[in-house]
Amino acid sequence: MSVPALKKNALNARSSAVMNDLRVYAGAFQAYAQEHGDWPPGGGAPGTFPPGMEGYLGTTNWSRTTPIGGSYQFATQSPQAGGRYAAVIIISSTTDNPVTSDANQLADIDKKLDDGNLSTGNFFLGYRNYPVFVLEH
């Protein structure tokens, strides 16, 4: 197998892993919202469980480094790319753990998960070009 093909396979695998993570987390946050009538509180640091979410996210990869670097962060009323979003999951860089800036990787995730455009839809680039996945607009 050629090196470019290996690189493409690795890119696909990372995209699929992120997509799978985000779907699992979206389900967990929606379950919380249904049971409690609102989203959990935001304002937590990347990689930390939002208050009340340990039971929903405890068995997931939430607190680990994401497949594309950085850490998952939940935020409410979050200003992103000129808009404000009620609830989002952000993949944020942390000290010594940057999220990828690889345009091909991020576009591939968007293509698999959303509309393929990193400026629009429910998956886009927000603050510092960190990937943002919208749970509620």
Binding site for other proteins (CB under 8 A): 2-4, 7, 41-46, 51, 75-82, 92, 94, 101-104, 106, 118, 125-129
Q: Which is nearer to other proteins, 33 or 125 (CB)?
A: 125
Q: Which is nearer to other proteins, 59 or 96 (CB)?
A: 96
Q: How far is the CB of 137 from other proteins (least distance, A)?
A: 15
Q: How far is the CB of 59 from other proteins (least distance, A)?
A: 24
Sheet with 123-125, strands from edge to edge, namely: 71-80, 83-92, 131-136, 123-125
Instruction: State how far the Cα of 128 lies from the Cα of 136, in Å rounded to an integer.
Output: 21
Q: How far is the CB of 46 from other proteins (least distance, A)?
A: 7
> DSSP letters of 9-49?
HHHHHHHHHHHHHHHHHHHHHHHHHHHHSSPPP--PPTTSP
